[in-house]
Amino acid sequence: MTEHFGARLAAAMDRHGPLCVGLDPHAHLLAAWGLPDTPEGLRSFSATVLEAVRGECAAIKPQSAFFERHGAAGVAVLEEVLAASRERGLLTVLDAKRGDIGSTMGAYAQAYLSDGAPLAADSVTLSPYLGYGSLRPAVDLARQTGRGVWVLGLTSNPEGAGVQLVGSPTVAARVLAEVAQDDAGLEPFGDVGVVVGATLDPDDLAAAGVDLAGAGAPVLAPGVGAQGAGAEDLARTFAGLTERVLVPVSRGVLAAGPAPADLRRQARELTAELRAALRR
């Protein structure tokens, strides 16, 4: 890959908008689609979604846990999803939230970020709560291979505040400062992104001492749809970050299935709504 991940992400969002379709094959969603809760059900579900939303979103975000729960056969389907996304020109955000130290973190990095790895994705989510420096093997390998990482910053779950808002400066502010340092000098933005919940508001960010506008990092903003955030929340929380916010939505798209035409229409309409909100 000749371009760094931030440049590739910027191009994808400029062309297709800020929508990232979450691939979360819950058992109840498979049942609603008339599919069995088996690896074959995962395979059929994933293939339908990928074909329906190609050209209608910037990225796909498979949630690793929903594939892992089926064991080796489910992980094999995840490998197929990542390969099929590459073939369709869809960037991938593998939602695995890995975090460890030393050689173990290095092994996670090789699994998800090295060329030729069966589970190689364009980017992967990481947890920094063993210390941001523990993520260095993944950050460095991502940069070497033109991939990216997304570091948990201010998440949308209420329990997160008990860790992320501790201290002065807060843990979240310190994580973002490290992210900003890694992204310094990269245009149009960096390859180390930060996860910030769309359910938050500007007062939450100010209280945490977080300056997203000045960080130079792309933002992965979960929480739209089932978790309660909407387009107005995006416009308020991420004002001034129009070109840097990638918005993962799962149930808000997948509930329109299983007909591919309905999935495609829902993705298209949601993309238009998100574009308009972020440009305000």
Q: d(Cα 253, Cα 262) in Å, to the nearest integer?
A: 9
Of 26, 86, 97, 236, the active-site residue reads 97
The answer to whether residue 1 scores a pLDDT higher than 60 is: no
pLDDT tens readout for residues 259-278: 999 999 999 999 999 998 88
pLDDT tens readout for residues 109-159: 999 999 999 999 999 999 999 999 999 999 999 999 999 999 999 998 889
pLDDT mean across residues, the chain: 94
**Which of 12, 155, 185 minimizes the C-alpha distance to 88?**
12
Q: Are 43 and 269 in contact (CB under 8 A)?
A: no
37 pLDDT band, cuts 50/70/90, is very high
Bond from prior residue into 218 cis (ω within 30 degrees of 0): no
61 catalytic, yes or no? no
Query: Which pLDDT score, from 0 to 100, does residue 277 have?
Result: 87
Average pLDDT over residues 164-173: 95
Across the strands, what pairs with 139?
A: none
pLDDT tens readout for residues 200-236: 888 888 989 998 988 899 999 998 876 777 788 888 8
Query: Which pLDDT score, from 0 to 100, does residue 27 have?
Result: 96
Say what the alpha-carbon torsion angle 182, 185, 186, 187 is, to the nearest 10 degrees.
150
Average pLDDT over residues 40-53: 97
Q: d(Cα 144, Cα 234) in Å, to the nearest integer?
A: 32
pLDDT tens readout for residues 64-119: 999 999 999 999 999 999 999 999 999 999 999 999 999 999 999 999 999 999 99
Q: d(Cα 97, Cα 224) in Å, to the nearest integer?
A: 19
Query: Which pLDDT score, from 0 to 100, does residue 223 have?
Result: 87
Query: Which pLDDT score, from 0 to 100, does residue 78 have?
Result: 98
Query: Which pLDDT score, from 0 to 100, does residue 203 have?
Result: 87
- Name residues whose C-beta falls within 8 Å of residue 168's C-beta, 6 or more positions apart in sequence: 209
Average pLDDT over residues 154-180: 93
Query: Which pLDDT score, from 0 to 100, does residue 39 have?
Result: 98
